[in-house]
Amino acid sequence: MEKFRIFGGYRLSGTVTVSGAKNAALPCLAATLLTREPVRLSGLPRVRDILTMEKVLRTLGEHCQHDNGTTTVVMGQATATHAPYELVRTMRASVLVLGPLLASRRQARVALPGGCAIGARPIDFHLSALARLGADIRVEHGDVVAEAPRGLFGAEIAFPRVTVTGTENLLMAATLARGRTVLSGCAREPEVVDLAAMLTLMGARISGAGTDVIEVEGVDQLTGCSHTVIPDRIEAGTYLLAALMVGDGVRIEGCVPEHLSAVLEVLGSAGAQVEVQPQALVVPRQQTPLRAFTVSTQEYPGFPTDLQAQAMALATQAEGRSEIVENIFENRFQHVLELKRLGADISVEGRKAVVRGPTKLQGTTVMASDLRASAALVLAGLAAEGETVVDRIYHLDRGYETMEVKLSQLGARIERFNPGPFL
């Protein structure tokens, strides 16, 4: 199993370029199922989840061709409607094919994703909303079986709680439903807006994306299009937090600073100086020591849960008592015990973690439990004294494009290695 070895204490400086957003690329890939025509997608990050989604699409009869940074997805001769558990279990976002399959092929069989390291993560809101569009939905042998032999019909749907992939699934399904669909209680994440932009290029009639009410006027068919996915705000935020922990002048290039407003606000409260440019964030060389801060994760435009673990790593270096409250997922504190193994002073009470800093972290072997927890451990390793080994980085490879290369280019000492069965 591959690991990272990090020699801490080296300052980061220079420019890091942000890749395309994994969480925008995944629904955009799923949306290609809505048309028979070729769809060209640019800016897809080269990360494992994208390869997995391409495998899912191939299983469903799509062809994915790569050429110079653009992926073209086109429907093959034989199509299928079954996304099997072997693929879904490695990536729960595979559930994003449910809405488009149902809309375009009128049936879908998608393995139930089950829970994961950060929480139970049911998909009940996806299923009840698709049923409101007229689909017949049942669970058989661990698969969601959905059928709409006469097609889907527009309806008014109120999500009981904001769900990002739930909003995306319904948005895709509604594009081909007969009549008007009004979705309320929608996610306002930039990734939802990006998907709506792509669907609009395909001929969908959508208004309100980016607000909590989205209206879709169904059309008979969608066409191909060319679309570039937005930059990854979570990757940008991860390097921003790294730069504040161990930076000596870092420019984060190719991001949309506005997508990180809530993060910049928290960092401002800690006394961080970050220069906001049109498509870049710059962390200047001279920083005064950071003060403790409070993070409370919320749906967009609030502080993203996908940066909570990395913010906790930063809090270990801030002066005083920081509070980190996780409101989205019930079990997203698995990094706490590993950060404590590096010497962090953290206590957890329910949804709240209290971090006392600054702490001189000391390198040791730690184990990644999920994607963002892995990133937090890498950040802590960069700040720690001596050698840190981060095990199970396959989690990290799901969502960060060549993180060790990007960090090495900034001056970090970090390498990927596979030590064999006994180490």
Ligand X SMILES: C=C(OP(=O)(O)O)C(=O)O
Return binding residues for UDP-N-acetyl-alpha-D-glucosamine. Answer: 92, 306, 328
333 three-class SS = coil
Site for ligand UD1 in 342-401 (CB under 6 A): none
The least CB distance from residue 238 to ligand X, in Å, is 10
Closer residue to ligand X (CB): 222 or 256:
256
**394-397 own/partner pairs: CB under 8 Å, 24+ apart:** 394/1, 394/2, 394/48, 395/368, 395/369, 395/370, 395/371, 396/4, 396/368, 396/371, 397/2, 397/47, 397/48
How far apart (Å, rounded) are the C-alpha atoms in residues 406 and 142? 40
Nearest Cα to Cα of residue 164 among 148, 181, 183: 183
Residue ranges for the known binding site are: 22-23, 92, 306, 328
Closer residue to ligand X (CB): 371 or 407:
371
Is the bond preceding 301 in cis, omega lying within 30 degrees of 0?
yes
Contact present, 332 and 308 (Cβ < 8 Å): yes
Binding segment toward ligand UD1, per CB under 6 A, in 11-19, 82-90, 124-132, 348-356: 124-132
Select the binding partner of residue 156 from ligand UD1, ligand X, none (C-beta < 5 to 8 A, by kind): none
Closer residue to ligand UD1 (CB): 297 or 317:
297
Sheet containing 136-140, strands listed edge to edge, beginning at the edge strand earlier in sequence: 82-83, 107-111, 143-147, 136-140
Count, residues near ligand UD1 per rule CB under 6 A: 21
To the query of whether residue 225 is one of the catalytic residues in this protein, the response is: no
Residue ranges for the known binding site for phosphoenolpyruvate are: 22-23
* Choice among 64, 116, 225, 255 that is catalytic: 116
CA 155 to chain centre: 29
Crossing angle, helix 308-315 and helix 371-383, to 10 degrees?
20
Query: Is residue 329 at the binding interface for ligand UD1, with CB under 6 A as the rule?
Result: yes
Beta bridge pairs of residue 143: 111, 140
Select the binding partner of residue 400 from ligand X, ligand UD1, none (C-beta < 5 to 8 A, by kind): none
Query: Is residue 165 at the binding interface for ligand UD1, with CB under 6 A as the rule?
Result: yes
Query: Is residue 389 at the binding interface for ligand X, with CB under 6 A as the rule?
Result: no
Query: Is residue 161 at the binding interface for ligand UD1, with CB under 6 A as the rule?
Result: yes
In terms of Cβ atoms closer than 10 Å to its own Cβ (0-12, 13-18, 19+), residue 9 is middle
Residues in contact with ligand UD1 by the rule CB under 6 A:
23, 26, 93, 119-126, 161, 163-166, 191, 305-306, 328-329
- The residues binding ligand X (CB under 6 A) are 23, 92-93, 306, 371-372, 399
Active site residues: 116
